[in-house]
């Protein structure tokens, strides 16, 4: 079973290598409206092929929100750093940012981790936890998260318009995450920041996520869809950078 997992993980990495690898600064308007994204990280290599980066996060989005999800991860709207006690911080809109911040705070034994964990999207919770928040501290951590994402992370994507093919019980997202997570070869480097995560599933999987890790992996019925998405993505006008 382990060999099958590794073979399929290798296949996924190989197919995606046909596509552009985007770093900050990229042109948000050139990205698709619908798709699945695959993040890579400097220093995190795949054992499947020499000098190949390993996938460290896979994600998707609701209908037509691909660009906004990517923008939220990289905090492309700098005005969102102008939050105060009446507003939620950027990491409330990006679990990716939240997970990186968790690792930074936990690494430093910073007690503000308890506040970072609070969900502040609702006015009710913002009022409930108002007395715990330190806006200066939050902006400091958010800035560090932004710097890490912009300097160390890059991504590829597959254009897939049909939301039911991307997410949900039968969607590709969960299967792709599970395939990479269950690969016996793709392991994080000793210096990977995720080792400091307070979430055991992140530390164990080597991925910046903890959902879908134990889902069913991609099967033969998934392969044509992935291959078709790769070819469609390669033909996109947006890749004429």
What does the pLDDT look like over 37-65, one tens digit per residue?
Answer: 999 999 999 999 888 999 999 999 888 89
Question: By C-alpha distance, which of 199, 98, 104 is closest to 144?
Answer: 104
Per-residue b or e along 24-48, where b marks 16 or more CB atoms closer than 10 Å to that residue's CB: eebeeeebbebbbbbbbbeebbbbb
CA separation for the pair 13, 207 (Å, rounded)? 15
CB atoms within 10 A of CB 231: 12
pLDDT in tens, 183-237: 989 999 999 999 999 999 999 999 999 988 888 999 998 999 999 999 999 988 6
Helix (H, G, I), strand (E, B) or coil at 27: coil
d(CA 167, CA 159): 13
Neighbours of 107 (CB within 10 A): 14
Reference 207, options 233, 187, 227, 237; nearest CA is 187
Place 2 in a pLDDT band, splitting at 50, 70 and 90: very low
The span from the CA of 183 to the CA of 68, in Å, is 30
Residues with Cβ within 8 Å of 55's Cβ and at least 6 positions away in sequence, in order, are 12, 13, 16, 38, 39, 40, 46, 180, 186, 207
């Amino acid at each position: 079973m382990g060999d099958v997992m590794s073979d399929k993980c290798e296949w996924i990495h190989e197919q995606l290598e046909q596509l552009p690898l985007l770093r900050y600064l990229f042109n948000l308007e050139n990205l698709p409206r619908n798709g699945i994204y695959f993040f890579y990280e400097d220093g995190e290599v795949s054992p499947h092929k020499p000098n190949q980066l390993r996938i460290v996060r896979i994600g998707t989005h609701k209908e037509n929100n691909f660009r906004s999800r990517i923008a939220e991860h990289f905090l492309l709207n700098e005005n969102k750093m102008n939050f105060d006690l009446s507003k939620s911080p950027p990491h409330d809109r990006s679990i990716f940012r939240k997970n990186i911040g968790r690792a930074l705070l936990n690494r430093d034994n910073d007690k503000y981790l308890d506040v970072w964990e609070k969900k502040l999207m609702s006015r009710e919770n913002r009022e409930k936890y108002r007395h715990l928040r330190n806006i200066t501290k939050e902006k400091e951590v958010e800035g560090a998260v932004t710097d890490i994402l912009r300097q160390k992370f890059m991504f590829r994507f597959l254009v897939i318009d049909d939301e039911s093919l991307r997410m949900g019980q039968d969607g590709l997202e969960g299967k792709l995450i599970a395939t990479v997570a269950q690969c016996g070869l793709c392991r994080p480097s000793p210096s990977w920041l995720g080792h400091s995560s307070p979430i055991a599933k992140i530390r164990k999987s080597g991925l910046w996520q903890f959902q879908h890790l134990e889902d069913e992996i991609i099967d033969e019925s998934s392969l044509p869809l992935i291959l078709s998405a790769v070819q469609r993505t390669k033909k996109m006008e947006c890749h004429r950078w």
